[in-house]
Structure 1
Amino acid sequence: MTRRTLAGIAVAVPIAWAAGAAAQEASRDVTIVLPEQPGNLEPCGSIMTNVGQVISQNITESLTVIDPASGEPQPKLATSWERIDDLTWRFSLRENVSFQDGTPFDAQAVKFSIERMTGGTFTCNNIAKFGNAELTVTPVDSHTVEIKTDTPQPILPTLLSVAMVVSPATPADQAVNDPVGTGPYRLATFTPQTAVLERVEGYWNGTPEVAKATYVWRRESSIRAAMVETGEADLTPSIAIQDATNPDTDFAYLNSETTAIRFDTTLAPLDDVRVRKALNLAIDWEGLGGLFGDDVLRASQMVVPGINGHNPDLAPWPYDPEQAAQLIEEAEGDGVPVDTEITLYGRNGIYPNGNEALEAMVAMWQEAGLNVSLTMLDVVDWTRYMQKPFPEERGPNLVQIMHDNNKGDAAFTIPIFYRSDGLYSSLTDTALDAEIDRAMAATDAERTKAFQTIFAEVHDRVVSDAPMFHMIGYTRVGPRLDWRPSINTNSEIALADIRFKD
């Protein structure tokens, strides 16, 4: 892949940062620098990048994991599975596994974890990936469970890759910051400055090379890159294109992230589809793409090519400012209050050059005749606008989003964004709900076609978002590590996969 270097950018590196380099060379400890601090370390929120990159497959593990090459589910805490009937799956569980608190892993622990995820006593982002499916877990014996769903779920083993299994000692009715799982690392400390993970002796799947991992967070891409360059950190999973200047340490990869702007379709003037179409047409997409690299792909839908259900016939919205202005004028002529202020809520650190992209988009929307303003938020405040229940006082709004689907199937995307009860959905559309339910129960070519039809419906009729780009990731890896990014990097960084070169 090509990588562009922006000349003339100087980075001031404090001398003290270099002091840690020599000490790290002699250890098996690593430091990972992330763009933002996790709001919490609740396993039920592991689909959030800043949470999953710390805990997924490190502290907590799932029954299945997805092979990034094939998209197929592979064994993890479950060793095998079979479909008993349209509504029932049976899973055989791994034996001789314990949680980090010493509790044995068994069928009752799986039942507890899934019921905790689906109980609804606190917000669980991960359950949104199951759409509106209801799960009933029944232990058959100590290491066999049956999971029954109220509607057919032909890819349940795939869906369960986001269900983190936690110790039965975990509170069932509240989010936690001290997760206990079956993974190779336990949480030592979590403070506003760092999270520290320590290796678990006697882990069921062998002893990983990394003894301890310290996570720190720095918002500025240039600082993250400099920390790895000087040896203060070993790895940062996300840097901006202008900082990816070292071919020996910087790696570009097509990740599974799609960036977009979600529209709140419930409030005027965004309840008028002409205004929503104008928001797409008013953006100079080619110019905007320059912020993210030559290899970034324009998106027409919220899944990347290769995901089952991606519709290859959908064209991205073009740049047509004249048509955008005409649509706004038509809406205004029909009494739509197009001069009402619309707030765009962005998230600090969501992806490199994200703030700059939003500033450019706001300027283009204002030029088209819409009254859009920008408010940047940290992750905790941004989440209030991203997921239900939305703040009652929110007013007309747009939300900057980045969605990761590396699981191989559009079921991880469509219900959460487009079903009326989806955690991120602003829609109330019973006809679309029925289409989604049929697609979720379908298999093989019928499933693919149904998802493709839904993406076309969302693009052409519903217009509830502005798909931006399928992203290229840039990662900097220090010289001590034998590790490379993959399509999974934006959702997890498995410490057990890291090797040392010496």
Structure 2
Amino acid sequence: MATSLSRRALGAAAVSSALATQAVAQSQTNRTLTIATGGSITSVDPHFFNAAPNSSLALHIFEALVQRTPDAKFVPGLATSWRVIEPTLWEFKLRENVKWHDGRPFTAEDVAFTYGRAPNVPNSPGGFGGFLRSLKQIEIVDPLTMRFHTHAPNPILPTDLAAIFIVSKHAGEGAGTEDYNSGKAAIGTGPYKFVSYQPNNRTELVRNDDYWGGREPWSAVSYRFIANDAARSAALLSGDIDMIDQVASSDLARLTREPRTSVHETVGLRCAYLMADFSRDGNVPFVTDNNGQPLAQNPFKDVRVRQALTSIINRQNIAERVMEGQATATNQWLPPGTFGYAPDVTVPVPNVEHSRRLLAEAGFPNGFKLTLHTPNDRFPNDSRIAQAVAQFWTRIGVQTQVEAVPWASFSGRSNRQDFAIRLTSWGSTTAEAGYMLTNIMMTYSRENRTGASNSGRFSSPELDRMTNEAVAIIDNTAREKALQDLVRWVSREVPIIPLIQLNHTWATRRGLTYTARMDERTIAMGVRPA
């Protein structure tokens, strides 16, 4: 009898313990998750600006036909399958029983509407047209079947479509960016619903309990913007914030040791680079001779000037000292192992005499003066990187001042060609070289949907032709070889100056874990109790 009673007591204790554990788990998750990001979100409109902070927020509300995993693989999203019927014809099957946040059904009409809207959003500082430029015709076979006709073979069409968030036709027709910011048109299929948006402050979201992929653990998400690195870390340590991104290299060691926090990091796909102004043949703002007089000709149009500027930069110094080891020196825009990386394109060894000789050959034996513009809140240590570059350039006679401005202002001014040369960055979320070529280095053309984020307005018919040919090659081996040839071309012609490949780091309060993402997206869907 005693044994039986003991077993009953143990059984009751086990049940009680399980219930207590379940209650703790529920209290952990059935609450608001508070995230602080270091990148300013400029709009809720998922087609307004192709920038990582905007896309991170959009992932909560909207979805694409194809989803991207944390390790940059591609899996079904609002489409369940796709196949090539002919070299220029793809068929996509859409997911059944998906509802918009207002309860209306998701259909092929919404996809067709989205792909007509995404490349044509007014006042976009850098849009999504490059992902859709191969589309010639969209055919709706039935409400859940679509066929995409392309101008030429596009072997990575599913990869391209992973970047385009689908919006509802019934909410989006006639709606502008302001209607998404107000919430009027911000009706998606994603795991969270829009509540409110305050620019440069915060966005509030609530869980979508009818989400087709299952309910998220967090009942609400408060997605906040804290530009200052130290302030973000302090907010995490004080308990005001559950997770932060863009952990400053100066804070990383402390947060790693701190028992109240956990750090989560991965190698990233974002390259910090410099791009000059190519939009003018004559005088360029913020560029003068050594007496402060405007130059008659744009110095950046001469490849020897560009080669001098890239050759003198000590990238290893930036990676090790400025970034404190949280970056890798590079002379291309993708890390090793990605599609199109060229192992023979190595980091140049700085050579003062070589760079001075190139400047003299270009007609600037005494150099000139310029201002380098940079954001001061877009990615870790951005303005410090610019200061380091200025010091290297000054050594060869290019006297350089740095002007750092907030990202919200920087992005618009850069897109208007207000700068002589700027430090910026690009995340190649497709993990292949064609993405940056198409969006950053190909000629800016709304008609051709190329160069959407080519803020310097570099233009080369040769690069345009080579890129168009490369991305249309069906055979993977041949396509990668063509892309590697383009990486070599860029290294010679210097339309951009790649500097470093960034690591991506997040920190959470102890008791939470985050699945670090190569595409650097900061999303509540990756946060779980440890």
Provide the residue aligned with 1:251 in structure 2: 264
Provide the residue aligned with 1:235 in structure 2: 243
1:415 aligns with 2:438: yes
The SS at the match of 1:246 is helix
1:152 aligns with 2:175: no
1:226 aligns with 2:237: no
CA distance in 2 between partners of 1:44 and 1:124 (Å): 11
CA distance in 1 between partners of 2:376 and 2:69 (Å): 31
Measured after TM superposition, the shift of residue 409 of structure 1 is 2.0
Seen in structure 2, the aligned counterparts of structure 1 residues 229 and 333 have a Cα distance that, compared at 3 Å, is closer
Measured after TM superposition, the shift of residue 451 of structure 1 is 0.4
Provide the residue aligned with 2:276 in structure 1: 263
1:453 aligns with 2:485: yes
Provide the residue aligned with 1:62 in structure 2: 64
The SS at the match of 2:336 is coil
Structure 2: segments with no counterpart, 5+ residues = 1-26, 281-297, 445-450
Measured after TM superposition, the shift of residue 172 of structure 1 is 5.0
8 Å contact kept, 2:249–2:324: yes
Paired amino acid for 2:428: N
The SS at the match of 1:358 is helix
Provide the residue aligned with 1:468 in structure 2: 499
CA distance in 1 between partners of 2:364 and 2:223 (Å): 54
Give CA-to-partner distance per residue, 1:216-266, whole Å, 9 cap, x none. Answer: 222221111121112110001111111012325123321111111112234
The structure, 1 or 2, with the larger RCO (C-alpha pairs under 8 Å, 6+ apart) is 1
Structure 1: segments with no counterpart, 5+ residues = 1-23
Seen in structure 2, the aligned counterparts of structure 1 residues 124 and 143 have a Cα distance that, compared at 3 Å, is farther
Measured after TM superposition, the shift of residue 135 of structure 1 is 4.1
8 Å contact kept, 2:29–2:219: no
Seen in structure 2, the aligned counterparts of structure 1 residues 315 and 230 have a Cα distance that, compared at 3 Å, is same
CA distance in 1 between partners of 2:79 and 2:203 (Å): 28
8 Å contact kept, 1:129–1:413: no
CA distance in 2 between partners of 1:306 and 1:131 (Å): 26
Paired amino acid for 2:162: S
CA distance in 2 between partners of 1:37 and 1:183 (Å): 21
The SS at the match of 2:393 is helix
Provide the residue aligned with 1:379 in structure 2: 407
Provide the residue aligned with 1:500 in structure 2: 529
Give CA-to-partner distance per residue, 1:289-329, whole Å, 9 cap, x none. Answer: 21213252111111222221111110122211221122222
CA distance in 2 between partners of 1:120 and 1:188 (Å): 23
- Identify the match of residue 183 of structure 1 among 172, 190, 201: 190
1:43-58, aligned counterparts within 5 Å?
A: 43-45=46-48, 47-56=50-59, 58=60
1:1-16, aligned counterparts within 5 Å?
A: none
CA distance in 1 between partners of 2:61 and 2:140 (Å): 24
8 Å contact kept, 2:50–2:128: no
- Identify the match of residue 39 of structure 1 among 22, 38, 42: 42
1:403 aligns with 2:426: yes
Measured after TM superposition, the shift of residue 416 of structure 1 is 1.0
Seen in structure 2, the aligned counterparts of structure 1 residues 414 and 446 have a Cα distance that, compared at 3 Å, is same
CA distance in 1 between partners of 2:488 and 2:471 (Å): 16
CA distance in 1 between partners of 2:364 and 2:88 (Å): 52
CA distance in 1 between partners of 2:517 and 2:392 (Å): 34
Seen in structure 2, the aligned counterparts of structure 1 residues 277 and 91 have a Cα distance that, compared at 3 Å, is same
1:17-166, aligned counterparts within 5 Å?
A: 28-45=31-48, 47-56=50-59, 58-69=60-71, 71-119=72-120, 121=122, 123=124, 125-130=126-131, 132-166=133-167
Provide the residue aligned with 2:310 in structure 1: 280
TM-score w.r.t. structure 2 length?
A: 0.83
Measured after TM superposition, the shift of residue 494 of structure 1 is 3.4
1:300 aligns with 2:347: no
Paired amino acid for 2:488: A
8 Å contact kept, 1:236–1:475: yes
Provide the residue aligned with 2:343 in structure 1: 312
Paired amino acid for 1:115: G
Seen in structure 2, the aligned counterparts of structure 1 residues 116 and 42 have a Cα distance that, compared at 3 Å, is same
8 Å contact kept, 2:329–2:501: yes
State percent identity of aligned pairs.
23
- Identify the match of residue 395 of structure 2 among 367, 376, 390: 367
Paired amino acid for 1:319: P
The SS at the match of 1:205 is coil
CA distance in 1 between partners of 2:272 and 2:387 (Å): 15
Provide the residue aligned with 1:343 in structure 2: 371
Paired amino acid for 1:54: L
Measured after TM superposition, the shift of residue 273 of structure 1 is 1.0
The SS at the match of 1:307 is coil
The SS at the match of 1:62 is coil
Paired amino acid for 1:261: L
CA distance in 1 between partners of 2:405 and 2:129 (Å): 23
Seen in structure 2, the aligned counterparts of structure 1 residues 182 and 131 have a Cα distance that, compared at 3 Å, is closer
8 Å contact kept, 1:209–1:500: no
Give CA-to-partner distance per residue, 1:177-234, whole Å, 9 cap, x none. Answer: 2322100101101113211111012111111101111122222211111211121100
CA distance in 2 between partners of 1:296 and 1:338 (Å): 30
The SS at the match of 2:116 is helix
Measured after TM superposition, the shift of residue 377 of structure 1 is 2.2
Paired amino acid for 1:231: G
8 Å contact kept, 2:114–2:166: yes
Q: Where is the helix percentage greater, Structure 1 or Structure 2?
A: 2
Tell me the matched-pair count: 465
Measured after TM superposition, the shift of residue 139 of structure 1 is 0.9
8 Å contact kept, 1:36–1:219: yes
CA distance in 1 between partners of 2:123 and 2:147 (Å): 25
Paired amino acid for 1:316: V
TM-score w.r.t. structure 1 length?
A: 0.87
CA distance in 2 between partners of 1:398 and 1:133 (Å): 31
- Identify the match of residue 353 of structure 1 among 370, 376, 381: 381
8 Å contact kept, 2:29–2:217: no
8 Å contact kept, 1:29–1:213: yes
Provide the residue aligned with 2:203 in structure 1: 195
Is 265-274 or 124-133 further displaced after alignment? 124-133
Measured after TM superposition, the shift of residue 72 of structure 1 is 4.0
Measured after TM superposition, the shift of residue 423 of structure 1 is 1.9
Question: Which structure: larger Rg?
Answer: 2
Paired amino acid for 1:382: F
Seen in structure 2, the aligned counterparts of structure 1 residues 214 and 295 have a Cα distance that, compared at 3 Å, is closer
CA distance in 2 between partners of 1:430 and 1:172 (Å): 37
CA distance in 2 between partners of 1:25 and 1:94 (Å): 32
8 Å contact kept, 1:116–1:173: no
1:314-333, aligned counterparts within 5 Å?
A: 314-332=345-363
The SS at the match of 2:139 is strand
CA distance in 2 between partners of 1:95 and 1:319 (Å): 57
CA distance in 1 between partners of 2:324 and 2:197 (Å): 34
